[in-house]
Structure 1
Amino acid sequence: MASVETGSAPWMTTGDRRPGRPVWRLWAPVVVSFLVQVPATAVLALHGSFGPGAGASGWSRSSAVLLALAGVLCLLAARRSPGPTVAAVAVLSAAAMLTGPTWGPPAVALAFAAGSGIARGARGWTYASLGVGWALALTVALGLGWNVSGFRVGATTALVIVAVLLAEGLRTRREQLDADRRRQGERRASAAQEERVRIARELHDVVAHSLAQITVQAGMGLHLMDTQPERAREALTNIKGSSKASLDEVRGLLDVLRGADAAQDPTTGAPRRPGPDLEALPVLVQSLRDQGVDAVLELRLVSTPGAAVQQALYRIAQESVTNVLRHAQAGRVSVELVEVDGTYRLLVEDDGVGAPPGPAEHGNGLLGMTERAELLGGTLETGRSPLGGFRVTARVPVRGVA
């Protein structure tokens, strides 16, 4: 659609004044209209008969040519002011038909002006000018009994109708293309936003868990460095292992972001670093035990979850364990994953300080866990645990969204 300049009148558009636009598109209607209307009108003005609206004086003959020429030259303003251009050409064409030669060429300039007005967004101006101008011209001619060429009226009307139909088709096509471009832009923006959210979830889960482990182990190492150097060495060893595992996961995520080729094995096509699955749950629970927490893992599955479900359940368990290490001050943690009534239920609870009174604050961790469950058609609930601490319950359908 044609755009309207800020601060300009609504009939003044700039949609077609793009850099590099061919000049012939402006001059072609002018040249065609001039060749069809002006020479023929000049010849008929010299040798033809005039209608009752004007005599056969020299002024009448000259004005007939001037009216035809003025209508053609008005087309030069069609790009800048398409609405007023249609109105002006309609008035000049009606005057030429009433006062010019009885037999004359059709008003080609009016057809071009009408098509240009509709294509450039001045539909109201175009239809009002055509309707009012044509109705007044015919009313005057019929009311005063003036003889107007039926061929000229019919040919001009036919040309205007064809121009209007073509312009309406072009306008509709432009609107459809604009709508398609907007929808494509919205889809790209939505896909980009979803990808940003997914990357944020992955980075948070990987980095937050590893940093929580490193923080606890570092504190333990500093506390035991003087009294129990062997335990301090063990803590440093755990820090090294946690940082290496985190670095590997971050590298795997970066490989995916750089492109599929970097993330796949060239021989098998399999991912170089597959995402974590439920087989990593024992390692996750063992990391709690390494921090001195009494951690228990219970698995009761009838079927094998798909890769997407396994990764989501693992990440939810990982984030829950991270929160235990960072906030709970727990001495006991229970991780339970069971399949019951067509649902995978993951339960992580501790005996720590629990959630503060009032509604839970949904930070990045809880938000990410909720998103992971909902993307698979499941739910996530949080609350106080019977053990006295915090509880996270995730439920995902066995036939969840892949």
Structure 2
Amino acid sequence: MDRSHTGEDARGPLDRRRPRLFLATALAVVVTVGTLGASHWRPGERPLDVLGLGLALASPVVVAALVRRPVVAVLLAATAVGSYLALGYAWGPAIGGLLGVLVTVALTGPARRARVVAWSGAVVGWGAILAAAALRTDVPRPAGILGGIAWTAVALLVAGAVRERFARVAAHRAARLERERTAVATERLRIARELHDVLAHSLSAITVQSGVGLHLLERDPEQARSALTSIRATSRDALDEVRAVLGVVRLEDGAVVAGDHVPAPAWDLATLPALAEPLRALGTTVRFDAEPLPEVPPHVAGIAYRVVQEALTNVGRHAQDARAVVVRLDRQGGSLRVRVSDGGRPGDGPTPGPSGHPGYGLRGMRERVEGAGGTLYAGPTRDGFAVDATIPWASPPHDAGSGTQEDT
């Protein structure tokens, strides 16, 4: 947890200089006017002079300049008020300057330190006031002294409540910003996975088909024409998928409304054989072995589609010598199992292989499957390389990167 936003270590409302200067100015005006008025209406006491006015204004100066050192600030304010009263100046708003310093200290700096220093300062300040009162003949009645102490306690309690409220608001704001950053990062990751899967598969297919077209251009123009037609169809399909993925970024045609889900492409597992065309063009045999399945939830179908797509793309890029690829889909308990193996036998479990540094494709597959609560193995087997994913049938539809619907 970020300690800068906890109740004990959060900064206070008056840590910024501008609010403190405003408070110091207001306090100086109140103390000056009040002290001049008290001196005017109590002519029997010591007349207000430069020394008395300076002692009365010490508290506003402390608020403006020394509140970053709360212990020094409280001691200076208590000393100034005690000296002001001990020298015989009129009782009055000069005591309010000390209260202003205590409240400022309570709203500044780390909460625990501010609370301790403010309440300790109240004890020290009223101790100085009582000590000064003992040296005077015009001591206020005990009810007045008790009333002043009570108002000081009330002011500090209110300052503490304001501080707690400020800390809660700051923590809420920090949590909201963190949620927004997480949502943005999640959406960027989802878009990156979708773009990688679409472009990697489509560009691999285009590369294979263009190679076939160049090879047959002179010997068999009709086959070359067929390859070019396939390139055009693959490019068109890739553009359609890219537009669907980027729709969540451009927010066109009012497709996204605050609080709604973002529509994204959904896939039918019956279209999986079309993903094998680039490999078949290379002469690789691709066999689909899928047992009859009940209706597959859309988000599970999206994850399975992307796993098969990326696995077949990797075979074409990294295992050109593979002569046979088997894609098997079956239901095992409460999960859909998807296995793509080149040279292996369907149904064999993968054997552990050495861990490497996966590329974006393998990383994206793992994030999709594990985000839905499933497991994925991608690595060497006894006969080649296999991708083996187990996707819970009842996985939540808002999993990480399912490719169907996600919260934004």
TM-score normalised by length of structure 1: 0.80
Contact 1:111 1:156 in 2 (8 A): no
Instruction: Tell me which residue corresponds to 2:389.
Output: 394
Instruction: Tell me which residue corresponds to 2:310.
Output: 319
Q: 2:222 aligns with which of 220, 230, 253?
A: 230
SS at structure 2 position matched to 1:107: helix
Contact 1:37 1:107 in 2 (8 A): no
The 2-side partners of 1:27 and 1:196 are apart by 49
Comparing both chains, which one has the higher relative contact order based on Cα–Cα distances under 8 Å and sequence gaps of 6 or more?
2
Instruction: Tell me which residue corresponds to 1:242.
Output: 234
Task: Please say if 1:166 is aligned against 2:163.
Answer: no
Instruction: Tell me which residue corresponds to 1:338.
Output: 330
Partner amino acid, structure 1, of 2:101: A
Contact 1:205 1:315 in 2 (8 A): yes
In 2 relative to 1, CA 377–186 (structure 1 residues): closer, same or farther, beyond 3 Å? same
The 2-side partners of 1:218 and 1:118 are apart by 74
Task: Please say if 1:285 is aligned against 2:276.
Answer: yes
Structure (1 or 2) with the larger CA radius of gyration = 1
Contact 2:82 2:132 in 1 (8 A): no
Q: Report the Cα offset of residue 219 of structure 1.
A: 2.0
How many residues are paired up?
Answer: 369
Contact 2:334 2:393 in 1 (8 A): yes
Unaligned stretches of 5+ in structure 1? 4-9, 49-60
The 2-side partners of 1:152 and 1:64 are apart by 26
SS at structure 2 position matched to 1:303: coil
Instruction: Tell me which residue corresponds to 1:306.
Output: 297
Q: Report the Cα offset of residue 245 of structure 1.
A: 1.0
Unaligned stretches of 5+ in structure 2? 5-10, 345-349, 398-408
Q: 2:363 aligns with which of 353, 367, 373?
A: 367
Contact 2:372 2:396 in 1 (8 A): yes
The 1-side partners of 2:132 and 2:37 are apart by 27
Q: Report the Cα offset of residue 167 of structure 1.
A: 1.6
Partner amino acid, structure 1, of 2:29: V
Instruction: Tell me which residue corresponds to 2:41.
Output: 43
Q: 1:383 aligns with which of 379, 383, 403?
A: 379
Q: Report the Cα offset of residue 203 of structure 1.
A: 0.4
Instruction: Tell me which residue corresponds to 1:52.
Output: none
Q: Report the Cα offset of residue 218 of structure 1.
A: 1.8
Answer with 78-87 or 248-257: which moved more.
78-87
Contact 1:293 1:331 in 2 (8 A): yes
Contact 1:75 1:109 in 2 (8 A): yes
Partner amino acid, structure 1, of 2:44: H
The 1-side partners of 2:267 and 2:85 are apart by 83
Q: Report the Cα offset of residue 164 of structure 1.
A: 1.4
Q: 1:87 aligns with which of 54, 57, 75?
A: 75
Q: 2:121 aligns with which of 123, 129, 134?
A: 129
In 2 relative to 1, CA 221–66 (structure 1 residues): closer, same or farther, beyond 3 Å? same
Q: Report the Cα offset of residue 64 of structure 1.
A: 8.1
Instruction: Tell me which residue corresponds to 1:155.
Output: 147
The 2-side partners of 1:80 and 1:165 are apart by 24
Q: Matches of residues 41-190 of structure 1 in structure 2 within 5 Å? A: 41-44=39-42, 46-47=43-44, 61-62=46-47, 66-67=51-52, 70-72=55-57, 74-82=59-67, 83=70, 84-100=72-88, 107-121=95-109, 123=114, 125-138=117-130, 148-149=139-140, 150-190=142-182
Instruction: Tell me which residue corresponds to 1:296.
Output: 287
Q: Report the Cα offset of residue 368 of structure 1.
A: 0.2
TM-score normalised by length of structure 2: 0.79
Deviations 1:73-118 (A, max 9, x none): 5314513322354433221222233442686567122212211222
The 1-side partners of 2:57 and 2:175 are apart by 40
In 2 relative to 1, CA 262–167 (structure 1 residues): closer, same or farther, beyond 3 Å? closer
The 1-side partners of 2:180 and 2:150 are apart by 45
The 1-side partners of 2:99 and 2:50 are apart by 19
SS at structure 2 position matched to 1:317: helix
The 1-side partners of 2:357 and 2:93 are apart by 79
Instruction: Tell me which residue corresponds to 1:275.
Output: 266
Deviations 1:321-348 (A, max 9, x none): 1001111112211111111211100000
Q: Report the Cα offset of residue 373 of structure 1.
A: 0.3
Partner amino acid, structure 2, of 1:296: R
RMSD over aligned CA atoms reads 3.5
SS at structure 2 position matched to 1:17: helix
